[in-house]
Amino acid sequence: MARVFSGIQPSGGMHLGNLLGALRSWVAYQHEHDAVYCVVDLHALTTAPDPGELRDNTVAAATMLFSAGIDPDRSTLFVQSALSEHAELAWMLECTVGFGELRRMTQFKDKSDRSEFVSAGLFAYPALQASDILLYDTDLVPVGDDQRQHVELCRDIAERFNRRYGDTFTMPAHAIPETGARVMDLQNPGDKMSKSLESSGTVGVLEEPESVTRKFKRAVTDSDNEVRYDPATKPGVSNLLGILASSTGRSPRAVAGDYTRYGPLKADTADAVNELLAPIRERYAELSSDPGEITRLLSTGADKAREVAAATLERARDNAGLIPRSPT
């Protein structure tokens, strides 16, 4: 069975972009693939979050994944820092990737432009991500469009390591959904939707239905009053069409044919999104009443993950010439 691996940062609440661009396909993959999913708390450390918040957000992210439909009997879900293998292989991969390659990453450029303090960890972030992926002999990495460059770099790293030290890693490919891969901000449709949930351009997965409806009603469109799917010249309207299409399993162009005015398009998009979010919100409320159960599920997940990760790390260590930890 082909293996799927993906990760999500525990940084605040999840938004509609995370759900449509990533989580929904994660849930779908677990039925026909060996699915491994990870809350990447070590990646979150790159931007020095408050420790209490990081702790809460890690449990909240796992709760959200289970609520969105990740089934602990079908998938392996765990927290990255529970396995020391991730950080250990990341070091070996940092020694495999070039400074220039890391410097070209657009996510690094964006994040470092916006922060006062730029950690070495933020720079090396894609090597840790490559470690996550390669430890599990991953075939497919379902992510939103913004992660395409990181997965491509992971392939380059795997190839270089295999060339230098002999066949060690499986070559992964990204799997980017056709709709929902780029959910844009409702107020600034030139920017992707991101985790600033106070913003009226971002829709939180746990947001109240009235608030969701209000945000769609106020979504920025344009003044030519024509419903047409054309992300380049009509980003606001195309984003609404993309969200409605992705929420209902249709194509944005087909959806566009049903509308002549912006008002009904906004109202129907809000309704479709609320319908999608309602059961997730309900399950989240149920599951959060028992955080002990979440940590128990995560610990079982970590045990399953370790079996695969430890063997891959051992192979990488041996091929690179690190002597065994203990005599064999």
* Residues carrying an active site annotation: 111, 192, 195
Size of the site for ligand TRP (CB under 6 A): 14
Establish if 147 lies at the interface with ligand AMP (CB under 6 A). yes
- Kindly identify the residues of this chain, within the stretch 33-62, that bind ligand TRP according to CB under 6 A: 40, 43
Query: Which of residues 22, 157, 256, 277 is near ligand AMP by CB under 6 A?
Result: 22
Binding mask 120-159 for ligand TRP (x = CB under 6 A): ---------x--xx-------x-x---x--x---------
Q: Terminus-to-terminus CA distance in the chain, angstroms?
A: 32
State the nearest-atom distance from the C-beta of 159 to ligand AMP, in Å.
23
Which residue pairs from 290-296 have beta carbons closer than 8 angstroms and sit at least 24 positions apart in sequence? 291/59, 291/63, 294/59, 294/62, 294/63, 294/66, 295/59
Rounded-to-integer distance, Cα 105 and Cα 38, Å: 22
Name the residue nearer to ligand AMP (CB basis): 179 or 221: 179
State the nearest-atom distance from the C-beta of 221 to ligand AMP, in Å.
18
Q: Residue 133: in which H helix or E strand, if any?
A: helix 120-134
Query: Which of residues 53, 101, 139, 146 is near ligand AMP by CB under 6 A?
Result: 146
User: Which one, of 310, 219, 305, 323, lies nearest residue 262 by Cα?
Assistant: 219
Size of the site for ligand AMP (CB under 6 A): 15
User: Which one, of 227, 193, 173, lies nearest residue 17 by Cα?
Assistant: 193
Residue nearest ligand TRP, Cβ-based: 7
User: Which one, of 231, 233, 232, lies nearest residue 245 by Cα?
Assistant: 231
β pairing state of 76-79 and 3-8: unpaired
| Residue 178 DSSP one-character state | S
Q: Using CB under 6 A as the criterion, which residues of the chain lie in contact with ligand AMP when the complex forms?
A: 8-9, 17-18, 21-22, 143-144, 146-147, 181-183, 192-193
Task: State the residues that interact with ligand TRP by CB under 6 A.
Answer: 5-9, 40, 43, 129, 132-133, 141, 143, 147, 150
